[in-house]
Amino acid sequence: MATETTQKQQEFSYIEAISQALDEEMARDERVFLMGEDIGMYGGAFKITEGFLQKYGEWRVLDTPLAESGIVGAAIGAAMMGLRPVVEMQFADFISCAFDQITEVAAKNHYRWGAAVPMVIRAPFGGGIHGGPFHSECPEGWFFHSPGLKLVAPSTPYDAKGLLKAAIRDPNPVIYFEHKFLYRRIKSLLPQEDFIVPIGKADVKRVGNDISVITYGAMVHLALEAAQTLTNEGIDLEVVDLRTLIPLDKETIYSSVRKTSKAILLHEDNKTGGIGAEIAARLAEDCFDCLDGPVVRIAPPDTPVPFSTPLEEFFLPKTGDIITAARKLAAY
């Protein structure tokens, strides 16, 4: 990278990247507005929209009643009238209250009667923050099964910013899963100039030859840690960060697995019927002849996300799980 470019870049946290994306898109396009619970005066439960009310006013930073279905429904209506709403779910868990509006109205309107619904739902998801069963969920699996939605889940500040901008500019309903654990834990350089990360493109976060670890969200960082440890043992992991769950970048997934011949599917959503299950089935259908070992899934058990520290630690995938699985798989 040229020195000149590096000087222009500055390090920002994942959460700052999200705020920046919202701010820049609102400044760029007056159709963009925000709605959600406690996002105005209070600046949002995670302070992502702090100062936005003062800057953009109460009709572009709209504090809503506590009514997720109503909020999403209203966003759909505003989107069809030509605005670009960005809804903040206070926690992704509460998205279940809006399930019907998302899957029956937002997802089907264009297919049924040609009405595009250009809106974004930001869903702060994931565990590791002592949130318990109602503040730690990974609900992406529910929507993964609903044609008409796009789902993204960035793992780095760069992807967080670029994917949010792309989501706001997309003519379809996009659920943007932002991982709460990553908010203030990771930083990276961000270019000063406007950029997007295209929806539908996975990213190989680490190039390797032996095993493909296919993952997204906070788990990407666990996979990278495991890869570091395994280097000493001569096991070379490739880490594929999906970034977008729908539409799934099958090309990148397949080309990685065709190279390594082995796949670990890692996610924080529970195991049954998760994104890993779908990718495993796809690999069996389309890449069977290049597999040299069983497809392995690493995911939490089929339980709600527990509160108490030892329970949550047991529940969440760990670096050690990846290392153990990789060692076994490497022996094939």
Partner 1 sequence: MDVAVIAKEIKRDDLLQMYYYLRLTRALEDRITALYRQGRIVGGVYTSHGMEAIAVGYASALERDDVIAPFHRDMGVFLIRGFTTGEILAQYLGKRTGPTKGKDGNVHMGDLKRGVFGFVSHLADNLPVAAGAALAFKIRGESRVVFAGTGDGGSSRGDFHEAMNFAAVRKLPVVFFCNNNQYAYSTPLHLQMAIPNVVDRAKAYGMPGEIVDGNDVAAVYLAAKRAIVRARAGEGPTFLEFKTMRMHGHSEHDPAKYVPRELLEEWKKKDPILKAEQLLKQLSYGDEPYFQEVTERVKGEVEAGLEFAEQSPLPEGPEVLEGVFAESAGSY
Closer to partner 1 by Cβ: residue 171 or 320: 171
Round to the nearest angstrom and report the end-to-end CA distance of the chain: 39
Active site positions, annotated:
135
Report the side by side order of strands in the sheet with 150-152. Answer: 61-63, 32-36, 84-88, 120-125, 174-179, 150-152, 244-246
Closer to partner 1 by Cβ: residue 106 or 235: 106
| Residue 41 binds partner 1 (CB under 8 A) | no
Answer for which of 6, 82, 288, 289 binds partner 1 (CB under 8 A) is 82
Cα–Cα distance, 161 to 138 (Å, whole number): 20
| Residue 29 binds partner 1 (CB under 8 A) | no
Which H helix or E strand runs over 160?
Answer: helix 157-169
| Residue 83 binds partner 1 (CB under 8 A) | yes
- Residue 94 CA to chain centroid, in angstroms? 16
Answer for which of 4, 7, 114, 288 binds partner 1 (CB under 8 A) is 114
Residues binding partner 1: what is the number (CB under 8 A)? 43
> Phi and psi of 44, rounded to 5°?
90, 150
Considering only residues 149 to 188 of the shown chain, the ones binding partner 1 according to CB under 8 A are 150, 171-172
Cα–Cα distance, 298 to 214 (Å, whole number): 10
Rounded to a whole number of angstroms, the minimum distance from the CB of residue 78 to partner 1 is 4
Which H, E and C letters describe 203-231, residue by residue? EEEECCCCEEEEECCCHHHHHHHHHHHHH
| Residue 212 binds partner 1 (CB under 8 A) | no
Answer for which of 32, 79, 222, 263 binds partner 1 (CB under 8 A) is 79
Binding range to partner 1, per CB under 8 A, among 103-111, 158-166, 202-210, 262-270 = 103-111
| Residue 70 binds partner 1 (CB under 8 A) | yes
Those residues with Cβ within 8 angstroms of residue 176's Cβ, 6 or more apart along the chain or in another chain = 120, 121, 122, 123, 152, 153, 163, 164, 167
Closer to partner 1 by Cβ: residue 87 or 280: 87
| Residue 290 binds partner 1 (CB under 8 A) | no
Closer to partner 1 by Cβ: residue 65 or 310: 65
Q: Is 44 left (phi over 0), alpha (psi -120 to 50) or beta?
A: left
Rounded to a whole number of angstroms, the minimum distance from the CB of residue 82 to partner 1 is 3
Q: Which residues of 124-143 are buried (b: 16+ CB within 10 A; e: fewer)?
A: bbbbbeebbeebbbbbbbbb
Which H, E and C letters describe 121-149, residue by residue? EEEEECCCCCCHHHCCCCCHHHHHCCCCC
| Residue 279 binds partner 1 (CB under 8 A) | no
Binding range to partner 1, per CB under 8 A, among 47-55, 64-72, 214-222, 251-259 = 64-72
| Residue 72 binds partner 1 (CB under 8 A) | yes
CB 97 within 8 A of CB 68: yes
Closer to partner 1 by Cβ: residue 71 or 295: 71
CB 172 within 8 A of CB 149: yes
Binding range to partner 1, per CB under 8 A, among 63-71, 222-230, 256-264, 282-290 = 63-71
Rounded to a whole number of angstroms, the minimum distance from the CB of residue 325 to partner 1 is 35
Q: Name the residues that contact partner 1, by CB under 8 A.
A: 33, 59-60, 62, 64-65, 67, 69-83, 85, 100-101, 104-105, 108-118, 147-148, 150, 171-172
